Structure formats: C-alpha cells, structure tokens
C-alpha cells in the first residue's frame, strides 16, 4: 500500500438505522501519525463513525477503507487484529490481573482462552506496555479492584498488544475524576510519542478531554460534518458554537483546549453590573 495513502478513509458515507438517518455524507481521511478527535453533541453520530472505523458495522451507502481494505471485501476478523479498540465499558467481570487483561489483547477475547499459554516474548511485551502505561508494580492486581483510571490505562495496553496501526478510543475519560483524567491523557500522549506511525481516532463530548497530541478534529451535529481539518483550525469559538448551537468560548493554551459558556458568563457579568438594588 502507498505509504501516503490513508490508514482510514470514509467516502460519502451514509448510515441508516430503522429508517432514521444516523450519518449523512461523511468524508474522512486519517493518515499515519495523525491523531483525530470526533466531537459533537449526544446523538451526533460519533460512536457510529467509530464503529465503522473499527470494522464493527458497515455503511448503508458509501465506502469505508480500513488499512487499505474496503469493508465488505475483506475478512473482518483478520482486519480487526490490526485495529486497537479501547472501550471503557469493557464487559470483563472476573478477577483477571492487569497482566492477564493485557494479554487478552493477543487473543481478542474478554477472558483468557482455555489452554492458551502466552510465550515468554508475549509476557515481556505485556510487561513493557504495563510499564509504558504507568502501571508498574500493579501487574498482578485484579481487575475487580482497579480504579476507573487504572482500568482505562490497562485497556490501552491491551489494545497495543497486536501492534495496531490504528487506535480507536471511545470516550476514554468517561467516569474519571480530574486527576485520573489527566493521568490518562498523559498516557495517551506517551503512547503516541512511542509509536510515531500510529494513527488514532478519539471520541469525546468535552474539549478538556483532548490530549496535547491531537492533530485533527471533526465536528458533527445531527449526523453531518460541521467542520473538519487541523485541530487548531476546527476547534474555535465560532465552530464549536455552531456545532453545539450554543455560545461557547474556546481557549487553546499549553497545548490543551478549554470551553466556557459565553451565555453564562454574560449573565453573571450582567448581575454583577446591576449591583445591589
């Protein structure tokens, strides 16, 4: 495949479920080393796009190419082995250790496969990712006792075990307090620095949950693209206000984005200006 060809490409994608248009006329091209954010209100279609990127669903019309293969013309199970998918709602309920959860990335299963034994190289690789994700000293701790932040970092390590070319992160900061969120975002930045050819797509509702390494962004509303391109061009006050249909002021400093409701600020300023009656 041409090295400049997109790792992921959606062309005129439309997705309809039960007669309802979820996505309409979506175009997206993600290249090696690019880190995209999909942002928009609830119901905008972000998670549906991610499911197409992960070869979990097919478009109603249009074309989806993942790692150079068109969906509908490729064996999906094999393709998914080259995609790392991080879902914070991972359905594991047993007390696998962090190391064991990371190793399930090799088998693509939730639980360890009976009678399957990792090689020494597999174990060393798992421990390398445990270290990269900042979980040193916790490799033998059970999933059932982990904090939400530790679970999130464990799932990123799991997703990396097959050396994927594409990493998909579905609202990875869900349920995290501020400290855990910052640890997770720092971890994502470390992973991206350690794998410069890795492409990634991250879904979130909140600009504060974007890592510093975010390079591109797509804004979605009602299943359609409202803005797309380099992150600093897309994530502006005007574009975010239009996407969310609410006046939101955007600030970009120290590599991170921050959002504030202009309407609320104006109301507070008005009350302060009125003074005591």
The neighbour count for residue 148, using CB atoms within 10 Å, is 15
pLDDT of residue 268: 56
pLDDT of residue 270: 53
d(C-alpha 211, C-alpha 255), whole Å? 8
Domain locations along the chain: 8-82+164-274, 91-163
The pairing of strands 199-204 and 35-39 is parallel
> Exposure string (b/e) for 44-65, b if CB count within 10 Å is 16 or more?
bbbbbbbbbbbbebebeebebb
Q: Which of 269, 54, 275 is nearest to 170 (CA)?
A: 54
43-61, pLDDT tens digit by residue?
999 999 999 999 989 999 9
24-41, pLDDT tens digit by residue?
999 999 999 999 999 999
Topology of domain 8-82+164-274, CATH: Rossmann fold (3.40.50)
* Mean pLDDT of all residues in 202-212: 94
* Mean pLDDT of all residues in 164-191: 93
Higher pLDDT, 88 or 263: 88
CA 90, 93, 95, 96: dihedral to nearest 10 degrees? -40
1 pLDDT band (50/70/90 cuts)?
very low
Cβ–Cβ under 8 Å, residues 101 and 143: yes
Instruction: Output the pTM of the full model.
Output: 0.89
* Mean pLDDT of all residues in 137-157: 94
pLDDT of residue 273: 57
pLDDT of residue 276: 58
């Amino acid at each position: 495949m041409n090295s400049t060809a997109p790792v992921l490409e959606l062309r005129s994608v439309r997705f309809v479920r039960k007669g309802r248009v979820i996505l309409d006329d979506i175009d997206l091209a993600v290249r090696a080393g690019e880190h995209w954010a999909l942002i928009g209100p609830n119901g905008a279609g972000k998670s549906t796009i991610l499911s197409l990127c992960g070869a979990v669903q097919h478009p109603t019309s249009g074309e989806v190419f993942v790692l150079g293969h068109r969906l509908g013309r490729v064996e999906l199970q094999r393709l998914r082995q080259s995609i790392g998918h991080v879902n914070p709602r991972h359905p594991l309920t047993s007390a696998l250790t962090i190391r064991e959860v990371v190793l399930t990335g090799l088998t693509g299963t939730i639980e360890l496969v009976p009678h399957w034994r990792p090689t020494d190289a597999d174990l060393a690789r798992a421990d390398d990712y445990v270290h990269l994700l900042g979980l040193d000293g916790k490799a033998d701790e059970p999933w059932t006792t982990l904090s939400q932040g530790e679970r999130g970092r464990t799932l990123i390590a799991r997703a990396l075990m097959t050396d994927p070319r594409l990493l998909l992160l579905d609202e990875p900061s869900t349920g995290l307090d501020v400290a855990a969120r910052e640890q997770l975002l720092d971890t994502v930045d470390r992973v991206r620095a350690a794998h410069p050819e890795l492409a990634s797509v991250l879904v979130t509702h909140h600009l504060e949950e974007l890592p510093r390494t975010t390079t591109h962004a797509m804004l979605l509303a009602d299943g359609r693209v409202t803005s797309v391109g380099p992150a600093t061009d897309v994530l502006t006050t005007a574009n975010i206000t239009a996407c969310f249909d609410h006046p939101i002021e955007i600030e970009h400093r120290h590599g991170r984005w921050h959002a504030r409701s202009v309407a609320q600020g104006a109301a507070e300023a008005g009350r302060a200006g009125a003074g005591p009656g």
